[in-house]
Amino acid sequence: MTRTPAPGRGHTVLRRRSWPVLCGIALVALGIGMAAAVLKVTSVNGFRGGWQGIPVYLALAGVLGRIANCKVVLREDDVLVVNPLRSHTLPRSAITAAEVDDHGTLELRLDEDHTVGAFAFGGSLVDRVRGTSEQAARTVTAWLDAPHSPPPTATPRAHWTRAPYADAALTACAVTAAVGAVWMGLSG
């Protein structure tokens, strides 16, 4: 787990070191595989058949980019939990506990019935050895217990996660697929 203070902003970013590394390795390996597949199919069937691997790669890059973007940000008055699709802004006053569930996932408890899970600290085999979810729970608990001025009353909010590079890859996937489909329809 990396614990990075954001310079000059007064918040701490918690994320697993393995997510960006594994996603980066997967992107490079898939990129090499996609390029080889496009070249192979193009050499046999022409580019008309070969280009179709490009949008598939871009879609996978978008999904992996969203996974690598996951994190928990401890700010002065709230916590930002960035998950692949939905992010949650949780005021400090709304969080009653930070705990790890039976599957090893970090959860921020809001009350008896409501929790927000952090995908960045989802249970994994590596976590069972390294204990990164437990470390993150201890860090959030220490943040909750630290003295602070009472913030204004706020409610938890959920919103769509923004991941610029992943969203750009998904947009490029859609554009490439649409342009390719039109090209194939007109040239067929």
Give the residue numbers spanning the domain of 71. Answer: 2-187
pLDDT (0 to 100) of residue 187: 82
What stretch of H or E contains 15? strand 11-15
The pLDDT tens digits for 7-33 are 555 689 998 888 788 889 999 999 999
The pLDDT tens digits for 168-182 are 999 999 999 999 999
151 confidence band (pLDDT: 50, 70, 90): low
CA separation, residue 177 to residues 55, 79, 167 (Å): 6, 38, 15
- Is the model more confident about 16 or about 159? 159
152 confidence band (pLDDT: 50, 70, 90): low
Q: How many domains are there within the chain?
A: 1
pLDDT (0 to 100) of residue 132: 87
User: Among 41-50, 103-112, 140-149, which is the least confidently predicted range?
Assistant: 41-50
The pLDDT tens digits for 97-112 are 999 988 889 999 998 8
Cα–Cα distance measured from residue 93 to residue 78, given in angstroms and rounded to the nearest whole number: 8
Q: Sort 136 into a burial class: Cβ within 10 Å, 0-12 / 13-18 / 19+.
A: buried
pLDDT (0 to 100) of residue 65: 93
How much of the chain, in percent, has pLDDT values that exceed 70? 92
pLDDT (0 to 100) of residue 3: 65
| Side chain identity at residue 175, one-letter code | V
How much of the chain, in percent, has pLDDT values that exceed 90? 55
**Strands 115-117 and 106-109, bridge-based pairing:** antiparallel
Cα–Cα distance measured from residue 24 to residue 52, given in angstroms and rounded to the nearest whole number: 22
**pLDDT of 86 higher than 80:** yes
Per-residue DSSP letter, 151? P
Whether the model clears a pTM of 0.75, i.e. scores above it, the answer is yes
Mean pLDDT of the chain: 88
Phi, psi of 84 (to 5 degrees): -55, -40
Q: What is the token pair recorded at 187?
A: 């040239």
